[in-house]
Amino acid sequence: MSQQPSILERLFSLCGKGVLVTGAAGGIGRVLAAAMAEAGARLALHDVASDRLVEPCQAVRDAGGEAFPLVADLSDVGACQKLIGEAHASLGRLDVLVNCAGVNRREPIEAVTLDDYDSINAVNQRSLFFLSQAAHPIMRAQGGGKIINIGSLNSFMGLGTVSVYA
């Protein structure tokens, strides 16, 4: 008798889906990528340098998935737009964009400079918009898609040294 998929496998299957995870070399991104590969997704893993992606890509392959490493500095809007094109070309489709890359500089509010402010916002806020904007026509042409933005408890609760990020 053939083994039926469990209700969890049916509900959470990502078989055939093309997924881009930004910041996939980081602590949260690499775990998300491996879990999505286990659920059947094909993965484009992004980070700021290719050597950082070797282990996360291997983890995806170990989970039975396909992994395409992609490099871009998300503080550059042009690089965000190019990244979406590369993910689409590698995967052949783009069903899910997980905006997981992020930065922080911890310091008291009095010490925050314009460069701190702009550097944090360029990645944590601006890149999300331009990545999503570039993904939009691809997802619309495919009939839909999902964009998942990883937030933080600090969205609801500031901390002494976490002002711009919050």
Ligand X SMILES: NC(=O)c1ccc[n+]([C@@H]2O[C@H](COP(=O)([O-])OP(=O)(O)OC[C@H]3O[C@@H](n4cnc5c(N)ncnc54)[C@H](O)[C@@H]3O)[C@@H](O)[C@H]2O)c1
Q: Nearest approach, Cβ of 70 to ligand X (angstroms)?
A: 10
What is the DSSP code (8-state) at residue 18? E
Query: Which CB atom, from 54 or from 141, has the smaller least distance to ligand X?
Result: 54
For residue 39, give the amino acid letter: A
- CA pair distance 48, 55, nearest whole angstrom: 14
CB of 107 to ligand X, least distance (A): 16
Sheet with strand 96-99: strands edge to edge:
67-71, 42-47, 18-21, 96-99, 146-149
Catalytic residue among 59, 110, 165, 166: 165
- For helices 54-62 and 27-38, the axis angle rounded to 10 degrees is 20
Would you say 142 or 152 has its CB closer to ligand X?
Answer: 152
CB of 44 to ligand X, least distance (A): 13
Structure tokens at 106: 């911890």
When the beta carbons of 66 and 79 are compared against ligand X, the nearer one is: 79
Tokens 């689409």 locate to: 88
In the complex, the residues that contact ligand X under the rule CB under 6 A are 23, 25-29, 47-48, 73-75, 100-103, 123, 150, 152
Q: How far is the CB of 144 from ligand X (least distance, A)?
A: 24
* Rg, C-alpha atoms of the chain: 17
C-beta closer to ligand X: residue 102 or 145 = 102
Total length of the chain: 166
The residue type of 90 is S
Query: Is 165 in the active site?
Result: yes
Catalytic residues: 165
